[in-house]
Amino acid sequence: MKKFEDAIARFDEYNRRDPNMIIHQGQRWPQEYLFALMRSEWVRKLKPDASDQLMLAAHCQHLGRWAIARKSYPDGRLGYLKWRSDLGKYHAQIASEILSAVGYSEAEIKEVTSIVLKQKIKQNQEVQTIEDALCLVFLQYQYDDLLEKHSEDKMVSILRKTWAKMSDVGRDYAVRLSLSPRGRALLNLALNS
């Protein structure tokens, strides 16, 4: 389907603009581009029959995330939640513009943006699948870096919140991830205390 392929190509091109680079398997990648690819892989594992809308959402979930810096919001949980909310709206807006430009209808765009905005997460299986994919990408590719920045207590709290967001299927994959020894120990502590 041409519009699907065009949308994915435009999302990927947009995310390649990320100035934040990450090393993966010895190669430098724009961070959000790499994470979009990884989210898409996880979505395919979690839901092999994923709809086009879910696959589009996997590619645009954090579209242009670097554009709104966390440090532009107040410290603390309320600042963090406001940042996340504003980011979600920003991702959905850019995705809507791209989807419209390649020929998607308003109804189709609404389906994608409802996943991006995580609406009705406990009632919509596609929204839960994207949440699982986000959590798995975090655990697989971002978790160890975060360990260096936060205390053990803070990390245990983050892990518990992450675990609470995931479905049983997502959790099953999570416990089988290859984590660093410290990462595995903290995850065990979070789940068993």
Distances (CA, A) of 52 to 35, 47, 58, 97, 109: 18, 12, 10, 17, 11
The amino acid at residue 168 is D
Count of residues making up the chain: 193
8 Å CB contact between 91 and 61: yes
Task: Give the torsion sign (CA, 22, 126, 171, 186).
Answer: positive
For residue 59, which of 110, 112, 111, 22 has the smallest C-alpha distance?
Answer: 112
How many independent structural domains does the chain possess? 1
Instruction: Give me the chain's average pLDDT, please.
Output: 92
Euclidean distance between CA atoms 13 and 136, whole angstroms: 23
Query: What's the pLDDT score for residue 120?
Result: 85
Query: What's the pLDDT score for residue 167?
Result: 94
What does the pLDDT look like over 23-62, one tens digit per residue?
A: 988 999 999 999 999 999 999 999 999 999 999 999 999 9
Query: What's the pLDDT score for residue 155?
Result: 87
Output the CA angle 7-12-14, nearest 5 degrees: 95
Euclidean distance between CA atoms 29 and 14, whole angstroms: 13
Collapsed DSSP state (helix, strand, coil) of residue 55: helix
pLDDT band at 147 (very low <50, low <70, confident <90, very high): confident
What does the pLDDT look like over 79-122, one tens digit per residue?
A: 988 998 999 999 999 999 999 999 999 999 999 999 999 988 77
Residue 144, pLDDT above cutoff 90:
no
Euclidean distance between CA atoms 59 and 35, whole angstroms: 9
Helix axes 168-175, 31-46, angle to 10 degrees: 110
Domain encompassing residue 161: 2-192
